[in-house]
């Protein structure tokens, strides 16, 4: 039969292991710390410089998939990305854009932000099949945030 001290150590060990798993799970879920990823597939053929960093976060989905991308890049690369994805200036911002994960995603409009969207990106519906992009260009930080919907 275990002694009281062994039972106490076992409980502390189990609690510590569960706490560690919770922290690691939360870090993975919130993409913390932000670690650069490979170039997203839709941009693989664009001539992007090595000064550009991508942070790709899967928002999930079963058949239709959604992703958020943070792109830290010189203005010339961001302009190239906007052209490569065939984006056009957007007069509106979809409400869902401000609620996207992870923690580093912008939560409100700031000065110097310019919006772009692909032709078939809709604010309030799934949209047609195929890829759809909504991009916020934060000119003050030389950064872009992309909401990418890959509808099947």
pLDDT in tens, 49-82: 999 999 999 999 989 999 999 999 999 999 999 9
CA atoms of 25 and 141, how far apart (whole Å): 30
How does residue 20 score in pLDDT terms, banded at 50, 70 and 90?
low
How does residue 14 score in pLDDT terms, banded at 50, 70 and 90?
confident
State the pairing for strand pair 65-72/53-60: antiparallel
The domain spans of the chain are: 1-30, 35-151
- Tokens 């039972």 belong to which residue? 7
- Tokens 């942070």 belong to which residue? 55
Going by the DSSP 8-state scheme, the letter that residue 82 receives in this structure is H
Specify the pTM.
0.80
Burial of 15 (0-12, 13-18, 19+ CB in 10 A): exposed
């Amino acid at each position: 039969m275990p002694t009281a001290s062994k039972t106490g150590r076992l409980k502390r060990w189990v609690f510590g292991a569960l706490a560690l798993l919770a922290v690691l799970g939360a870090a993975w879920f919130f993409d913390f710390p932000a670690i650069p990823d490979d170039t997203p597939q839709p941009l693989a053929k664009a001539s992007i410089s090595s000064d550009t960093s991508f942070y790709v976060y899967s928002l999930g989905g079963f058949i239709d998939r959604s992703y958020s991308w943070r792109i830290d890049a010189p203005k010339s690369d961001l302009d190239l990305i906007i052209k490569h994805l065939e984006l056009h200036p957007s007069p509106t911002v979809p409400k869902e854009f401000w609620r996207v994960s992870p923690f580093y995603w912008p939560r409100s409009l700031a000065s110097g932000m310019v919006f772009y969207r692909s032709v078939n990106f809709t604010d309030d519906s799934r949209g047609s099949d195929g890829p759809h992009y909504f991009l916020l260009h934060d000119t003050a930080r030389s950064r872009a945030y992309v909401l990418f919907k890959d509808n099947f």
